[in-house]
Structure 1
Amino acid sequence: MFLIVIGLNHRTAPVEVRERFSFSESQTREVLEELRNKAGVESVVLLSTCNRTEFYMFLSKEIARTAVIEVLSRRARLEFAELKRYLYVYTENDCVRHLFRVAAGLDSMVLGETQILGQVKEAYQLAHNCGTTGRYLNALFQQALAVGKRVRTETEIDKNAVSVSYAAVELAKQALGGIEGRTVLIIGAGKMSELTVKHLVANGVAGVIVSNRSFENARELAACFGGRAVHFEELYRWMEKADIVISCTAANHYVIHTREMEKVAERRGGKKLFLIDIAVPRDIEPEVAHLPGVVLYDIDALQNVVDANLSERRRAAAQADRIIEEEVEGFLRRQAAQAVVPTIVALKKLGDEIKQKELRRALNRLGDLSDYERKVITSLVNSITNQLLHEPVRRLKDLSLTSQGHFYAEAVQKLFNLEVTAELPSAAVKGKG
């Protein structure tokens, strides 16, 4: 058995590829079920955010790795060879380290951002509810959440971090030379939209218009900030009045189309309209960028903005990396020690069975013995068995912490013909043994 993560993120794949791997909750459940039924896939967790899609798995067969990539290729409608260009694969210790870095915000577009920790928790809980986690992934993700909290408590990694919504507003300010007195149309009424509106109001916009497929949700968000809610069917008409449009819906298809935007651009008479699409999958057809008077940014355009205050956060990141290395080693030690427990239990059980069988045989042969004599013989047999097993058990525990620990456990199982069915990962602490 071995631990592996297969994924892609904002560094390895552009948004037009990442959006193919954006999974809703229902789609996540379907994929988890499909992968669980693949031969060799013992457990799996799917982490899907706007900037990453990652499959953390515990596999019993190497061939399962290819089977998983084939599932992704089919679902994303990408050729196998094309898909592999964008993927990264980490196994064993590197997989543990990667997840801990993700949970700590060290692998995010926005270094130190806090939203990812909640997303990791939600991904784990969903997989756990679907019954696809297993003992090892349970331990791994629970520790990852603890590591993420520790890093934020002991460092200032998130002190100067900016969110995607904040970056979108900063991008708008750069594009227009300031947004005081401007009118902004927000498409979507979820958490990201709420945070975006909060930043807009703080920067002095003249008006906020909110549109959403659920008019009630749009009205609730607009009311919180003194804005105006408009029906989704009237979206294009209100674009004619806006200076900036920021779109962040949860739709799995485009909601802003080129044909309709041509009419908007024409009616605006050449007045510039700035569109910022921070949704994944994207909300706005990319061809809209070619229309006269229209400037379109997608989420990948935020990179320059999120680099603000990066030097301070990089110093905190170095401290966070030291914490993560400590946590990785500690986790692997605990798991390696835990992995040999079933072998030790089975070995002691075998020793006890042999002891009891031979003790009964000896006592029957000796015939009439006093209670004292029986007690002495029983104590002798117990002492021999315990002393015989003590050193092998102690050595097995010590060796479990080395890079070859799992091989020793497997050797003991084979030598004594032990039946052990527990998960036995090969991940171990490197640099020992």
Structure 2
Amino acid sequence: MHIVVVGLNYRTAPVEVRERFTFAERELPEALRQLQQTTSIMECVIVATCNRTELYAVVDRNQLCGHYIRNFMEQWFNLPREQFTSHLYMYEDERAIDHLFRVAAGLDSMVIGETQILGQVRNAFLLAQQQRTTGTMFNMVFKQAVTLAKRAHSETSIGEAAVSVSYAAVELGKRIFGHFAGKTVMIVGAGKMSELTAKHLNANGIERVIVVNRTYERAAELAGRFNGIPCSMEDAVHRLHEADILISSTGSDGYVLNRKQVADAMARRKSRPLYMIDIAVPRDLDPAISNVENVFLYDIDDLEGIVESNLEQRRAEAAKIETFIAAELDIFRQWYKTLGVVPLIKALQEKAAVIHEETMASLFNKLPELGEHEEKVIRKLTKSIVNRMMQEPIIRIKEIAGEKNGDDAMDLFVKLFALEEALGQDEDKTRSAVSEPDAVAEKRKSSASAGAKIAVAAVTP
């Protein structure tokens, strides 16, 4: 089996590309189902945020992953592969796991050490579990990733400085005006990102905040926490001229403001500049707005370098987290090596149980005068003998399986205890039987008959 991740992020694709490869929250269950049904895909998780779209998969072979992913993306996003292949990256096995650990801990984020990604990875994993698209491998790996990220934020100071995309947006406003005294900020959207933005604005002394949302009640709820002014989306267009800075972060499928609406508002501002910061993906603000006189439009990619001065300490703390990641990778390595021991131990225990039952049946037939109590005592004592005889071999094979020659040791274990028949394998196939979980073998059989099915796995650009 192999673990593969394929994706694109803020490093490999600009915002105008990323926004075309976003999964709406309502689409994720169906995307997971289609992904898992693909030939060779055993388990899958989709991590989709404003700065990345990543598909994680456990596959039984990885030679055709690039073919599968390009077909899936063409079909799902209705785009020819020539438009996106160059933006894709793929990592396999330990490199894929290392990447997941770095993502969850915030080391791969635009703003290093940000904490929001941890919740997004955790939610992606929980959704995949609900949709039954995870199994032994990802239940282990993603739990490791979440635990590692929590440890990173509790045992280091990487998250102490308030840096995030929303923080960067507020920092940009400060750089433009120097301070927020006497300025009006309009926040479009009332989700998590907007809430974080409102917190940063409040901490920086903003006096007047207009909170805009399609649902007025939600706008009122958020505005009430920060002494803001709630506003519906319809009324926002008529109040746009009041704002000095607009920060937009909604989940809208289209633009919430266009060039004409902004031009009309600017006619009422009498040459006063308006700074608009779009931190949504897909973008909320029509790029053509930048052509309106005295309007200065920034998108999420413009924020990358704004908080550089606040990141030096985080980079130092990131080095500590790298040691955590190395330790977790070692734990996974050892765990993975011992996976093949499970069917061996099960086969040995089942064989011992059969022998024990046959022996007890023969004994009780030869000694019919034994009472129920005597039979119970004999059965218990003989079963204890069998278990104690197996205890040391089981402990030893678990230990040896994680060592360099673990595969050879498992082969020898099978031969010593004559487990070939119990494992349902010929002697020359024993190794593949003990190193491949049952679910993979079953999927491989069904994959052979499914032949022409193509959806998604992971990619080779």
How much has 1:246 moved relative to structure 2?
A: 0.4
Structure 2 distance, partners of 1:12, 1:404, is: 40
How much has 1:7 moved relative to structure 2?
A: 1.4
Match of 1:250 in 2: 251
TM-align CA RMSD = 3.4
Question: Matches of residues 61-140 of structure 1 in structure 2 within 5 Å?
Answer: 61-62=61-62, 63-64=64-65, 66-140=67-141
1:79-99 CA-to-partner distances (Å, cap 9, x unmatched) read: 224322112211111121111
The amino acid across from 2:345 in the alignment is I
Match of 1:305 in 2: 306
How much has 1:356 moved relative to structure 2?
A: 7.5
* Aligned partners of 2:243 and 2:274 also within 8 Å: yes
Structure 2 distance, partners of 1:21, 1:404, is: 44
* Aligned partners of 1:35 and 1:68 also within 8 Å: no
The amino acid across from 1:332 in the alignment is R
How much has 1:204 moved relative to structure 2?
A: 2.3
The amino acid across from 2:8 in the alignment is L
The 1:411/1:280 distance shift into structure 2, 3 A limit, reads: farther
The 1:390/1:223 distance shift into structure 2, 3 A limit, reads: closer
How much has 1:423 moved relative to structure 2?
A: 5.1
Match of 1:45 in 2: 45
* Aligned partners of 2:191 and 2:250 also within 8 Å: yes
1:96-126 CA-to-partner distances (Å, cap 9, x unmatched) read: 1111111111111111111111111111111
Q: Which moved more, 1:167-176 or 1:414-423?
A: 414-423
Structure 2 distance, partners of 1:269, 1:34, is: 54
**Any idea what SS the aligned residue of 2:128 has?**
helix
Structure 1 position 144 matched with structure 2 position 119: no
Q: Which moved more, 1:336-345 or 1:135-144?
A: 336-345
* Aligned partners of 1:181 and 1:204 also within 8 Å: no
The 1:105/1:12 distance shift into structure 2, 3 A limit, reads: same
1:162-191 CA-to-partner distances (Å, cap 9, x unmatched) read: 122111100111122332211111101112
How much has 1:410 moved relative to structure 2?
A: 8.2
Match of 1:318 in 2: 319
Normalising by structure 1, we get a TM-score of 0.85
* Aligned partners of 1:147 and 1:324 also within 8 Å: yes
How much has 1:344 moved relative to structure 2?
A: 3.2
* Aligned partners of 1:273 and 1:295 also within 8 Å: yes
Structure 2 distance, partners of 1:25, 1:273, is: 32
Match of 1:23 in 2: 23
Q: Which moved more, 1:60-69 or 1:160-169?
A: 60-69
1:37-68 CA-to-partner distances (Å, cap 9, x unmatched) read: 21211111111111111111111233355323
How much has 1:351 moved relative to structure 2?
A: 6.7
Structure 1 position 416 matched with structure 2 position 420: yes
1:307-348 CA-to-partner distances (Å, cap 9, x unmatched) read: 232221111111110111011111221232134212332255
Q: Which moved more, 1:240-249 or 1:60-69?
A: 60-69
Match of 2:427 in 1: none
**Any idea what SS the aligned residue of 2:293 has?**
coil
The amino acid across from 2:290 in the alignment is A
Question: Matches of residues 31-430 of structure 1 in structure 2 within 5 Å?
Answer: 31-62=31-62, 63-64=64-65, 66-347=67-348, 349-350=350-351, 397-398=398-399, 400-401=401-402, 416=420, 418-419=423-424, 421-422=437-438
* Aligned partners of 1:2 and 1:91 also within 8 Å: yes
The amino acid across from 1:45 in the alignment is V
* Aligned partners of 1:112 and 1:161 also within 8 Å: no
The 1:196/1:289 distance shift into structure 2, 3 A limit, reads: same
Q: Which moved more, 1:99-108 or 1:153-162?
A: 153-162
**Any idea what SS the aligned residue of 1:334 has?**
helix
* Aligned partners of 1:110 and 1:161 also within 8 Å: no
The 1:21/1:402 distance shift into structure 2, 3 A limit, reads: farther
**Any idea what SS the aligned residue of 1:274 has?**
strand
Match of 1:430 in 2: none
Structure with the larger RCO, 1 or 2 (CA within 8 Å, 6+ apart): 2
Structure 2 distance, partners of 1:411, 1:9, is: 47
Structure 1 distance, partners of 2:228, 2:344, is: 65
**Any idea what SS the aligned residue of 1:217 has?**
helix
* Aligned partners of 1:39 and 1:64 also within 8 Å: no
How much has 1:14 moved relative to structure 2?
A: 1.1
How much has 1:201 moved relative to structure 2?
A: 2.3
How much has 1:75 moved relative to structure 2?
A: 2.4
1:119-166 CA-to-partner distances (Å, cap 9, x unmatched) read: 111111111111111121111111111111111222111122512211
Structure 2 distance, partners of 1:254, 1:404, is: 59
**Any idea what SS the aligned residue of 1:279 has?**
coil
Structure 2 distance, partners of 1:405, 1:255, is: 60
Normalising by structure 2, we get a TM-score of 0.80
Structure 2 distance, partners of 1:2, 1:98, is: 15
Structure 2 distance, partners of 1:321, 1:60, is: 29
Structure 2 distance, partners of 1:412, 1:400, is: 10
Structure 1 distance, partners of 2:177, 2:289, is: 19
Q: Which moved more, 1:410-419 or 1:166-175?
A: 410-419
**Any idea what SS the aligned residue of 1:305 has?**
coil
Structure 2 distance, partners of 1:115, 1:246, is: 19
